[in-house]
Amino acid sequence: MNHYIELLEAYQAACNRHDIEACVALFTETGEIASGGESFVGTAVIRAAHEYDLASHTLVEFRDFEIEGNVVRCTFWNEHELSRAIGTGGMTGKAEFTFTGNRIQKFDILPPDDAERQRVIAQVGPVFKWLRENHPEAVARWQGFDRAAGEAVMALADLWRAHQQEGA
């Protein structure tokens, strides 16, 4: 097995057990997570991103690896607690990892394809409409990529589940 794939499997396992220190240790000191046109660079923000994952109970999976030099492209699936509350099954897209030595220099989360985006939008649209109308302050707290934003995801999931139980 390729060494980079072994590192990504170790990263996936650390992410899914929410071992923040192990996740951070797999990145270089100038490591970067890029998503949606934003870049989060450096140890402090890499730690904050994994605190988001812990607080939101995010799970990840990396598969279908393609290796070109020190770059690994793969399918990337992730699901947080609000996705589970809604029942989306998470979101699947692509990711690209660039390595420097035995550590991740950049984790680039690429946008999902149109079909996946439309599938998720169809499921979350009515939920977010209800959340924005009934709990705008909770929706507003879901800003950024840190523990507080992850806690907001959990609060939104709780609000949605409570609403679903009331309607049952």
pLDDT (tens digit, 9 = 90+) per residue, 141-157?
998 889 999 999 999 99
Alpha helices in 35-146 (DSSP H): 43-56, 81-86, 114-134, 136-140
Q: Residue 111: what are its φ and ψ, rounded to 5°?
A: -65, 150
Which residues lie closer than 8 Å to 166 by C-beta, 6 or more apart?
A: none
Helix (H/G/I), strand (E/B), else coil: 12: helix
Enumerate domains of the chain plus CATH numbers. Answer: 3-167 (3.10.450.50)
Q: Kindly report the pTM of this predicted structure.
A: 0.94
pLDDT digits 0-9 by tens, 14-51: 999 999 999 999 999 999 999 989 999 999 999 999 99
**CB atoms inside a 10 Å sphere around CB 39:** 12
Question: For the stretch 110-121, what's the b/e string if a residue is b when 16 or more beta carbons lie within 10 angstroms of its beta carbon?
Answer: eebeeeeeebbe
Residue 109 forms beta bridges with which residues? 35, 95
- At residue 143, the pLDDT reads 87
Q: Which two tokens stand for residue 114?
A: 């149109």
Q: Which two tokens stand for residue 59?
A: 């799970």
- At residue 167, the pLDDT reads 76
pLDDT digits 0-9 by tens, 80-113: 999 999 999 999 999 999 999 999 999 999 999 9
Q: How far apart (Å, rounded) are the C-alpha atoms in residues 21 and 162?
A: 34
Q: Tell me which amino acid residue 60 is.
A: V
